[in-house]
Amino acid sequence: MTETEGVIKYQLQDIDITEINAWRSIMHRLAVIGQSRDKYAGYGYGNISQRLSGNSGQFLISGTQTGRPESLTRKDYCIIEHADLEANEITSRGPCKPSSEALTHTALYQRDPAIENAIHGHCPEIWRQTAALALPHSAENVPYGTPEMAEAVQSLLQMHGFRQSGLFTMLGHEDGVMAFADTMAAAGREMIDCLAQALVIAQRCKANYNSRFII
């Protein structure tokens, strides 16, 4: 397909990353995105993406193993130009490699054009309360970063009638949580609101447990 047929060739230097970077910093401060020697064998975790305008199907995503800095630069982002879910193939452009979760982001964007932003994070507080919060979730036997996960995500969208925003957990991906929406702010609020609900449940359980030992 040529550019005259509707494909927009984005250049990273022409893309405003201020909004996506600001929300990534918020997720980093909440430890939803980050890197720690005490977690996940010391590897960075979490990523964030934003659909690019023009109905091109392309999107911007933070690169693999960029969890440590609180704020990223353009060199820490890349553009997903094409993705084939069934073939497990990604074509990207930019100074870094995309995360293995790029396929999961692709599944969201390909399933519903109303979804324009996504945050994949690791949040044990939310993940552990999947049942208590009645959260949609992928099965424990579905590994992350695979065509099977992408298929599971698209099935969740259809099954639960998600439209412009939502959140689900990935039980086969330790602490894995994904929020998405039509705006980056709405995706961020989905994550924060769910974290608050999970903390309420955890604190109530702790209070009830402690009250059993009060004479």
pLDDT in tens, 145-162: 899 999 999 999 999 888
CA distance 148 to 113: 21
Mean pLDDT of 122-129: 97
CATH number of 3-211: 3.40.225.10
Mean pLDDT of 97-117: 93
Our CA angle for 121, 134, 209, nearest 5°, is 90
Cα→Cα distances 104→151, 154, 167, 183, 210, Å? 9, 9, 13, 18, 40
pLDDT in tens, 55-65: 568 999 999 99
Please state which of the ranges 89-93, 163-167, 173-177, 184-188 shows the lowest mean pLDDT: 163-167
Bridge partners, 128 (sequence order):
none
- pTM as predicted: 0.91
User: In the chain, what are the domain boundaries?
Assistant: 3-211
Mean pLDDT of 80-100: 92
**DSSP structure class, residue 64:** T
- What was the pLDDT predicted at 212? 59
